[in-house]
Amino acid sequence: MKKNIVLFSLFILPIVAYLFFASGVNSFTKLPTITSKVADLGNWKSLKGEQVSLNNKITILGFSGTEILKNRGNLFNLNEKIYQRYHNFKDLQFVMVCPLGTEKDVENIMDAFDDFTDVSHWHFVFTTPEEINTFYSQLKLVNKLDANFGTSNVYIIDKERNLRGRKDKKEYLEGYDTFHPSELSNEMLDDFKVILYEYRAALKKNHNATKQL
């Protein structure tokens, strides 16, 4: 009896575990592309005066809208569930596209964050509502911006400027709702780990391992 249990543990359980993980939505190795080669950010004014680009960075991209101060709880959720855990990765950035005129509101929010968070990987860029709509439309998403040119969703953009998510019809997911902390802790965190795994595996394969990811 003991011999059978040992054999089961050594040979059967690993196979069952492999089949279980291999049958996952993203197979834990590749997160599907929702939109390929999205446009880079325009030459827009940033809060810190730097040029922000989507090139060669894993980007968590969001659209704050004019009601950013009212909806600041969404940013706090994202900061708590994702940013504080991963912001030390040099190849990762958090970018929010904001309407002109909300600069002071963003400064107030970042001042509050600065009391308990290293905010160096938070980037806010400002442009006109028209340009925000144009940029958002080329992402080719099902969901639309609200009347204030914002959304509670954030999106994962890879280093090649591909928007990533889940394409399975039963649980299609193009963005992650920052209004719901549980969605950030579960779906978004799971998918973000897949992205990190992809790059780590590629770096290892090319013998170019780095602590940046």
Alpha carbon separation from 131 to 27, 100, 138, 209 (Å, rounded) = 37, 11, 11, 38
- Position 60: which residue type? I
pLDDT score at 27: 44
Residues in the chain, pLDDT under 50: 6-8, 13, 15-28, 209-211
pLDDT at site 2 = 53
State residue 208's pLDDT score.
55
Q: Give how far the C-alpha of residue 205 lies from the chain's centroid of Cα atoms, to the nearest Å.
A: 24
HSE-CB for 205 with a 13 A CA cutoff:
6
pLDDT value for 43: 92
pLDDT of amino acid 209:
47
The pTM (predicted TM-score) of the whole model is 0.83
Helix (H) or strand (E) holding 77: helix 72-78
pLDDT of residue 9: 52
Q: Give the C-alpha separation, 210 to 49, whole Å.
A: 29
**Tokens describing residue 89:** 């990765």
Q: Percent of the chain having pLDDT more than 70?
A: 82
Residue 19's pLDDT is: 39
Distance in angstroms between the alpha carbons of the first and the last residue of the chain = 46
Provide the residue type at 119 as one letter: V
Count of residues making up the chain: 213
**pLDDT of amino acid 213:** 52
What is the pLDDT, as a whole number, of residue 206?
66
